[in-house]
């Protein structure tokens, strides 16, 4: 999310959130899966915010919603640079948006959902899945099918991928680093409530903020220094604040996706895995 600094300040402390479920009794495998899901969604959102940074610092043209454009950039970067991990990272990310849609209050949509700067969560899930399957149909069709993208749309997603990839490469080409580095990108982990200590530990141990900073400095020549922080900010979100050249990841963001996995996604995945196992056993008899 790209916001003016005055709005960022106004939002702080606006929401009271429950503590993350990190302390729940989980097996090592379950905890590792929850951490992986959390970090995969966090990596995509960090690249999303870096997209806002690029638009601002490089004065890039954006034809359409900026939020959609930087969603696409984050997805393209992962597809291009994360190799064999891309499939897992993006599968978790489309699930993140898909399950976020399911958490919508029963009253349904309000007008602000349609005039806001973001597309609906379900649209973001479909758009990511479209770029995935558009990049490699055989590799990603099962993920696109799983979230409900029909085959005829999956086939046309190759055009979406080609357009998005060509467009981003063209506008970023003049800003790619060849030899000299640009301005510095610094990382800080700021104050947090005790309930987020485990989340802070997960983020620090993974060095995901440092990875984002390294990626920016090694690949592009930015013109102004940038600060990337993780901090307690009162809501489930991440921000780019142009006036401060500041990317902010809220601890609540990571905590929310950890909880989402433990409370909703993990039970469903385990249920379907058990069903598949029972089916295989039955067929083997």
pLDDT tens string 24-42: 688 999 999 999 999 999 9
Q: How far apart are CA 95 and CA 184, in angstroms?
A: 34
Angle at 102 between CA 98 and CA 107, to 5 degrees: 140
State the average pLDDT over residues 246-253. 97
State the average pLDDT over residues 68-94. 95
Q: Which of 221, 214, 251 is nearest to 235 (CA)?
A: 251
Q: Give the residue, 65 or 271, on which the prediction is more confident.
A: 65
pLDDT digits (tens, 9 = 90+) for 149-167: 999 999 999 999 999 999 9
Distances (CA, A) of 249 to 64, 114, 244: 25, 25, 14
pLDDT digits (tens, 9 = 90+) for 180-193: 999 999 999 997 77
Angle at 255 between CA 204 and CA 264, to 5 degrees: 130
Give all strands of the β-sheet with 246-250 in edge-to-edge order: 185-189, 226-231, 246-250, 238-241
Assess whether pLDDT exceeds 90 at residue 55. yes
Delimit the domains of the chain by residue range. Answer: 5-9+28-284
3-state secondary structure of 185: strand
State the average pLDDT over residues 241-247. 97
């Amino acid at each position: 999310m790209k916001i003016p600094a005055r709005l960022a300040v106004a939002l702080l402390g606006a929401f009271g959130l429950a503590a993350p479920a990190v302390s729940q009794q989980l097996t090592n495998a379950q905890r590792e899966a929850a951490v992986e899901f959390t970090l995969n969604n966090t990596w995509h959102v960090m690249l999303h915010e870096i997209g806002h940074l690029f638009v601002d610092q490089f004065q890039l043209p954006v034809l359409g919603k900026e939020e959609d454009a930087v969603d696409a950039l984050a997805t393209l970067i992962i597809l291009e640079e994360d190799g064999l991990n891309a499939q897992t990272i993006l599968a978790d990310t489309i699930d993140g948006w898909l399950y976020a849609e399911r958490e919508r209050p029963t009253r349904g949509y309000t007008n602000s959902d349609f005039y806001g700067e973001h597309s609906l969560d379900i649209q973001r899930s479909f758009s990511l899945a479209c770029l995935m399957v558009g990049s490699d149909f055989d590799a990603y069709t099962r993920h696109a099918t799983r979230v409900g993208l029909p085959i005829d749309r999956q086939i046309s997603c190759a055009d979406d991928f080609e357009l998005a990839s060509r467009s981003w490469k063209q506008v970023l080409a003049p800003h790619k680093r060849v030899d000299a580095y640009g301005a510095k990108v610094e990382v800080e982990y700021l104050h947090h409530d005790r309930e987020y200590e485990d989340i802070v530990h997960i983020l620090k141990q993974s060095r995901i903020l440092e990875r984002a900073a390294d990626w920016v400095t090694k690949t592009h020549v930015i013109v102004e220094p940038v600060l990337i922080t993780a901090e307690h900010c009162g809501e489930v979100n991440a921000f780019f604040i142009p006036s401060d050249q500041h990317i902010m990841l809220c601890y609540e963001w990571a905590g929310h996706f950890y909880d989402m996995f433990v409370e909703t996604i993990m039970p469903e995945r385990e249920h379907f895995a058990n069903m598949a196992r029972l089916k295989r056993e039955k067929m083997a008899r």
